[in-house]
Structure 1
Amino acid sequence: MYLTGKQTTLLGQIMQTLAEPHEETEIREIMGDLVMQLLGAQFYASFVWQPGSQSFAQPIQINMDPMNLRAYESYYQFHDPITPLMQRYQVAVRATDVLPIEELKKTEFFNDFLNKDGLYWGVNLYAWHQGQNLGDMRIWRDKRRDNFTPDEMRLLDMLQPAFVTALARAQRSSQPEALTLNILSQRLTTREQDTARLVMLGMTDKEIARALHISTTTVRTHLENAFRKVGVSNRAALVHKLRP
């Protein structure tokens, strides 16, 4: 697979972005701009699957009409002939891989939703982690351009592990209470417990500060208090002491 100099640079930027601590929404927003450049695409949308309601929500878009996306959320996703099939894939998948373009063009979904923004050729990538769909990338071109090539799909597949890891990390960071601590944690304040949980995830002081919306100085204060209360002197020992 041949990469241009621009694509090589963009791949580096994407990998750097995915390695940095970002909130889940930020990851999907930043990735949209970079992946569109990488693939020479014109349109981008991203959603998060909601298992409870069996629907997609939390949309992000680039070059698409927000009103059209709201119509997707309320109606068209429930009359969508391609996305439920594409969501089953754990690799990049084109719309034409699940439904020929001539068949898609006959549908209400194409004529009343996709066509409004000029979407014609599409490829999706889903972030699957431990059986959960954490988010997706939906990348589109208009009909003046060509369909996505196998090499371009392989580029997306190369990004998928880092994309999944970044979204999973962001989800854990936003829900530190989901990590279980043992009975010793009762000696700590709620904020000290949150800090300890993020230490268990291997996060740096800077990453913890960003996740909890506090300063790095406050993070260190919470850690020093936790060390003293649990009777340890470093992060590794704290993790060992508090792990169930």
Structure 2
Amino acid sequence: MYMSATQCRVLGELMALQAVSENLDIMRHELGSLMLQYLNADTYSSMLWNTEKKFFERAVGVNETAQRLKSWSEYYRFIDPVTAPMMARRVATTATQILPQHELLRTEFFNDFLRPHNQYWGINIYFYNRDECVGDFRIWRKRARGDFDKDDAVRLNMLAPSMAACLGKMRRSRDKKEIKNDEPLQRLLQLSRREAEISCMIAEGLSDKCIAAALGISVTTVRFHLKNVFSKCRVVNRAGVAARIRSLI
């Protein structure tokens, strides 16, 4: 397998980012731009798998919108003919390995979800930690770039062991932190569960767009909750919220 100098450099940056990142959602978002360079692609999204609910959540993306990712969760996942079989394979898999391109082009999923965003060629990988899916990368190219090949799959599989371990560790740490943080914020500041969740994300440095994508809600909804948080925390900006939250947790 040949790797260009650019791909070698990007691979190093991908590994370094995994090593130093402390926030699961920020890390996955920052990995996106690097993944597009690494695989010469156009759009990237990443979701986390909720084992209890059997559901993908906390979507982030590059050259994607929160609304598109939300529409996949709310409707298109039910008619998506490629994602579930890709997940079952546990290795980097192209959409054309699951469904020939001429068949995919005839589906509602392609014509209503993929084609309007010029997504013709896809490759996904699902990361398993301790035999449990923890998250994924979903990467698509425009029609003119052509399909992903075996070398692209090998490059993507190279990231799987470290990415699975990183996601698993950070996810367990995040879950414990959220359980610990929600209760005092709700009790001391009279925040709702959602307001407490958004406040913690603000304190971690996430933008409204990242928060919206991670929670599967609109940016408008994030800002509605944030307005309530400003009032309850008696602050006038995000910096004030962050300082108030950090003083309590």
Q: Same fold (TM over 0.5)?
A: yes
In the other structure, the counterpart of 1:76 is: 76
Between the aligned partners of 2:83 and 2:162, the Cα distance in structure 1 is: 23
Partners of 1:19 and 1:162 within 8 A in 2? no
* Matched position secondary structure for 1:144: helix
CA distance in structure 1 between the partners assigned to 2:25 and 2:99 by the alignment: 30
Q: Which has the larger radius of gyration?
A: 1
Please give the alpha-carbon distance, in whole angstroms, between the structure 1 residues aligned to 2:50 and 2:116: 26
Task: For 1:14, give the aligned amino acid.
Answer: L
In structure 2, how many angstroms separate the alpha carbons of the residues matched to 1:52 and 1:109? Answer: 26
* Greater helix content: 2
Q: Deviations over 1:198-227 (max 9, x none)?
A: xxxxxxxxxxxx9xx9xxxxxxxxxxxxxx
TM-score (norm 1): 0.69
Q: Secondary structure at the match of 1:91?
A: coil
Q: Distance in 1 between matches of 2:94 and 2:26?
A: 25
RMSD, aligned α-carbons:
2.1
Give % identity: 35
Partner-residue secondary structure (3-state), 1:151: helix
Aligned length: 181
Q: Hey, what does 1:32 align to over in structure 2?
A: 32
Q: Distance in 1 between matches of 2:124 and 2:4?
A: 22
Paired residue secondary structure (2:144): coil
Work out whether residues 21 and 27 of structure 2, in 8 Å CA contact, stay in contact via their aligned partners in 1.
no
Q: Secondary structure at the match of 2:88?
A: coil
Note the C-alpha offset of 1:131.
2.6
Structure 2 letter corresponding to 1:82: V
Q: Which residue of 1 aligns with 2:159?
A: 159
Deviant stretches of 4+, over 4 Å: none
Q: Aligned partner of 1:13: which letter?
A: E
The residue that corresponds to 1:136 in the other structure is 136
- The residue type equivalent to 2:167 in the other structure is L
In the alignment, the residues of structure 2 paired with residue 79 and residue 112 of structure 1 have an alpha-carbon distance, to the nearest angstrom, of: 11
The 2-side partners of 1:67 and 1:56 are apart by: 15
C-alpha deviations, 1:6-45, integer Å up to 9, x for none?
1111111111111224221122112211111111100011
Give ranges in structure 1 of 5+ residues lacking alignment.
Answer: 178-209, 214-244
After TM superposition, give the deviation of residue 74 of structure 1 in Å: 0.6
Task: Determine if the alignment matches structure 1 residue 49 to structure 2 residue 63.
Answer: no
Length-normalised TM-score, structure 2: 0.68
C-alpha separation in 1, matches of 2:134 and 2:142: 27
By relative contact order (CA 8 Å, sep 6+), the higher-ranking structure is 2
Mind listing any 5+ residue stretches in structure 2 that lack a counterpart? 178-203, 205-241, 243-249
For 1:83-232, what aligned pairs fall within 5 Å after superposition?
A: 83-176=83-176
